[in-house]
Copies of this chain bind each other. A is one copy, B any other.
Amino acid sequence: MAIERRGILFVVSAPSGAGKTTLCKELVAAIPGVHSSISYTTRKPRPGEVHGRDSYFVDEGAFQDMVQRNDFAESARVYDHFYGTPRQALTDMMEKGLDVLLEIDTQGAMQIKKKFSDGVYIYILPPSIDVLRTRLIQRGDAPEDIQRRMQKARQEILNYREYDYIVRNEDLKQASQELQAILQAERTRTKRVDIGWLERNFITDPTSI
């Protein structure tokens, strides 16, 4: 019987090319009880992406209807597309005691932080700015995209103070381990423990001392 506690919201941001997607996949595979939040987006699915698993792929009309109904915990335009995090799915999971992993850019993360101040905010750094550029070149991004992403990375990294943790992805195995450690550690934080459970089990039962 584990210590009873509420679900935790883990928010992970990183500049494009820092390895966030790989790290988050490994995290969900390695740690039971962590579920990815699935975002809505107006961008087209990439090869292999599945509607309802990777994202909910919707057209702009459907997206704007959801904005109007206040269905999103945050939504943002990133480059030419809209992205939104469904509010209800997030809170439903947390109320069940499940932890939620939200991969999101800095502007979205800052919106989420206003509403979920109890969440855990993690920023993934590339090994260096030079390595970031090299990775973007190697994955075949167009030069103007690289330029744009590098500028965005620089702006984003300036916001690092808004995050609780900084994981530097120099070595994938090490970074993956650090990210997992953050999840496990946060689960044991005193402020997350169900106080009623603790007091019933350890303090108030007069027959057991």
Contacts and interface: CB of A to CB of B under 8 A. Distances in A.
Interface of A: 1-3, 123, 125, 128-130, 150-151, 153-154, 157-158, 160-161, 163-168, 170, 177-178, 180-190, 193, 198, 201-203, 205, 208-209
Contacts of A178: 184-185, 187-188
Given A2-B168, A157-B203, 6 more contacts: A129-B201, A129-B209, A161-B190, A166-B188, A178-B185, A182-B185
Contacts of A181: 180-185, 188
From A123, A190, A203, name the one whose CB has the most chain B CB atoms within 10 angstroms.
A190
Contacts of A130: 208
B165 A189 contact: yes
A186 B202 CA distance: 27
A186 B125 CA distance: 16
28 contacts: A3-B125, A3-B166, A3-B168, A125-B202, A128-B201, A128-B202, A128-B208, A129-B201, A129-B209, A151-B209, A154-B202, A154-B203, A157-B203, A160-B190, A160-B198, A161-B190, A163-B190, A164-B189, A166-B189, A166-B190, A166-B193, A178-B187, A180-B181, A181-B181, A182-B185, A184-B185, A185-B185, A185-B186
